[in-house]
Structure 1
Amino acid sequence: MNQQECPITFTLEVIGGKWKPYILHFLAARPLRSGELGRLIPQASGKMLTQQLRELERDAVIRRKVYQQVPPKVEYSLTPHGETLMPILDAMCAWGRQNPPAKAGKVRQRQARMGGD
């Protein structure tokens, strides 16, 4: 199987942006406006947040709903397809809790001393 056919590669293409897991995490709780997401993820620039939201929308993971009002209101929410990603993100979260960076660093140091990867 080549890399393009690999299911892991496809999954990472969908959720593998720097801010995508955070976006999905927050949208799992409730629909949000882009400004709310910006406040929840202050490290992400507006441009990057917009780009990642568009990619998630393109991949049918999130829905963008535009309310016809003045001023315009746009709200993002998970699609049913996006909800299927939650077990993956939950597993990543559980793994991260069990393997904090300090612990992972100690494992890498031990492997380096032993000459392994």
Structure 2
Amino acid sequence: MTERKDRCGVNYTLDVLEDKWQPRIIYWLGFRPFTIDELHRLLPELTLVALNDEIASLQNLRIVNSNKDENDKYTLTDNGTDLRNMVVTMGVWGRQQMDDSANQISDQIVEPEADASISELIEYNKKLDKYL
């Protein structure tokens, strides 16, 4: 992924976002820091080994900080935060276009509170499915 250097920036970005799990990981780590176990609970379809591989890939791309914080949690870099903002914007825009094409009214999506429990965030994943 993103190995070819002769392409434009949009293609590079799309290569990152093309992965099924990386947009989700970027979304959650931009929401608040998480341990690997918390992330695994949010992304249960992803094996722990695969989750570690995805995080390593995002670290190599300088999207996720290479060092965990003092609470052993992963965080986004400043570039990762910028990418997250674009991912959320693209997800909302795309969903609105899909709904508009189907003559449906788009739901308004609101992020959970920053201190929401993992259980609440797992439930929120169902809403995210429409956007990411």
The TM-score, its normalising length taken from structure 2, stands at 0.62
Distance of aligned partners of 1:76 and 1:30 in 2 relative to their CA distance in 1, 3 Å threshold? same
Specify the alignment match of 2:91 in structure 1.
93
Distance of aligned partners of 1:79 and 1:67 in 2 relative to their CA distance in 1, 3 Å threshold? closer
More strand by share: 1
Bigger Cα displacement from structure 2, 40-49 vs 5-14: 5-14
Q: What is the CA–CA distance in structure 2 between the aligned matches of 1:46 and 1:24, rounded to whole Å?
A: 16
Specify the alignment match of 1:7 in structure 2.
9
Q: Which amino acid aligns with 1:7?
A: G
Specify the alignment match of 2:63 in structure 1.
61
Mapped contact 2:65–2:76 kept (Cα < 8 A)? yes
Q: What is the CA–CA distance in structure 1 between the aligned matches of 2:91 and 2:23, rounded to whole Å?
A: 10
Percentage identity across paired residues of the two chains: 29
Q: Which amino acid aligns with 1:17?
A: D
Specify the alignment match of 2:76 in structure 1.
78
Bigger Cα displacement from structure 2, 84-93 vs 74-83: 84-93
Q: Which amino acid aligns with 2:17?
A: I
Q: CA RMSD in A?
A: 2.6
Q: What is the CA–CA distance in structure 2 between the aligned matches of 1:97 and 1:75, rounded to whole Å?
A: 31
1:9-58 deviation digits (Å, cap 9, x = unpaired) = 21123333210010011111111111101100111111221111001000
Rg: which structure is higher?
A: 1
Gaps of 5+ in 2: 103-132
Q: Which amino acid aligns with 2:92?
A: A
More helix by share: 1
The TM-score, its normalising length taken from structure 1, stands at 0.69
Q: Which residue, out of 39, 53, 59, partners 1:51?
A: 53
Distance of aligned partners of 1:59 and 1:30 in 2 relative to their CA distance in 1, 3 Å threshold? same
Q: What is the CA–CA distance in structure 1 between the aligned matches of 2:58 and 2:17, rounded to whole Å?
A: 8
Cα offset for 1:92? 2.1
